[in-house]
Amino acid sequence: MRESLMSGLRAALALALLLALPSVRADEAKKQEDAAPCIEVQVNGERIPAWDCLQRKLAPATKPAKSPALPEAERLMRQPGNQLMQYNLEGTRQRMGDAFGRSVVPQRPAR
At 97, give phi and psi (nearest 5°): 65, -135
Residue 54: count of CB within 10 angstroms of its CB: 12
Of the candidates 67, 47, 46, 49, which has an alpha carbon nearest to the alpha carbon of residue 57? 49
What are the tens digits of pLDDT across the range 37-73?
Answer: 788 888 888 888 888 888 888 888 777 667 678 888 8
What are the tens digits of pLDDT across the range 69-90?
Answer: 888 888 888 888 878 888 888 8
Q: What is the reported pTM? A: 0.28
Cα 24 to its chain centre, rounded Å, is 22
pLDDT at site 30: 66
